Amino acid sequence: MHIDHLDHDIPLRQSDQEEFRYSLISSFISKIPNLNTVSGRGGPLRPLPSGVYRINDRMIYDYQNEIYSSHASNLGALLANRVARENKIPAFISDPVTTDEFIPEARISGVPGIERKSRSHALNIKYCVRKTSTSIGIPEEDSRFVVVHLGSGFSIAAVSGGRIIDVNDALLGMGPFSVERAGALPLSGLLDMVYQSGMTEKEIRHLLTCESGLKGYLNTNDFRQVIQMASTNKDAQTVLDSMIHQIIKESGSMFAILKGNVHGLILTGGLAKSDEMCSKLKASITFIPTFYIYPGSFELEALAEGAYRALSGLCLIMEYK
């Protein structure tokens, strides 16, 4: 992709898609009998405690105006709000991307004025922790897991007592490079790009979040194609091995944060469907002998669970302010 053509590939605000996307689901929604609530994916907001949040006007304003980020998950609350208003029912989000439970040491970056951000696949991470804790018969508040979520972006988290006490910034910066995202970068190279490429801030953000990682090196974001390419192409295999190398390194970091005292490693996300990926990680992360593998993502189950808990009075419904 030529730098001077990047801007043509960058969409307008995510909220500009609301009308089109709603038109695709409205007919289906209208046929659901006894609809009593709706739950949407929670995109980036201000840093928030974990929980179930009522969708309100302040939240809608922040998503429509992309106050905290331009991300596809912004549409979750916008569409849920639309359904809720037309059906006169409550609407919620649960454990949004910016769920923040960091310990103080995890915030310090090394540069005054720059703070490490908690932006992760919190919804799926916390659901898988609850699911695993129940399956092995321990209270969630006593559990300790390294959680590795591998999707188009990666979240590798230290989760103690159900709280994400440290995690790489899965949206922009930190952690391994992923299917589409750059991950942590050498600062000198990044500075050269910023000051010498002639790219705008918007173009650089798009490049680092949507056109980097495997897609940048191999020109595809289909992991099945990557595996096939790696089987016959040495350079593609090296790129894939480098990504796995970085996943292992980040997992070891989170294991160390938990002082080596964990109940296991939870592996989830779309790439966990790959037997080759799972096998390579298990063969290398021998310092965590127990793996719990949940291929794919469980956001829909987590959203349904959150809405059920809210309507049943099993959790406090939180207000976004």
Total count of domains within the chain: 1
Full-model pTM = 0.91
User: Quick one: tokens of 180?
Assistant: 């589409």
Which CATH number does the domain housing residue 127 bear? Answer: 3.30.420.40
What pLDDT is recorded for position 245? Answer: 98
Model confidence pLDDT, tens digit, residues 108-158: 999 999 999 999 999 999 999 999 999 999 999 999 999 999 998 999 999
With a CB cutoff of 8 Å and minimum separation 6, the contacts of 202 are 7, 10
Q: Are 75 and 15 in contact (CB under 8 A)?
A: yes
Contacts 24+ apart (CB under 8 A), 76-79: 76/40, 76/41, 76/42, 76/43, 77/40, 77/41, 77/42, 77/43, 78/15, 78/18, 78/40, 79/18, 79/21, 79/22, 79/25, 79/40
d(CA 108, CA 123): 24
What pLDDT is recorded for position 185? Answer: 96
Give the structural domain span for 159: 3-319
What pLDDT is recorded for position 5? Answer: 33
- Looking at the chain, the whole-number percentage of residues with pLDDT higher than 70 is 97
Q: Are 183 and 211 in contact (CB under 8 A)?
A: no
Q: Categorize the per-residue pLDDT at 11 as very low, low, confident or very high, splitting at 50, 70 and 90.
A: low
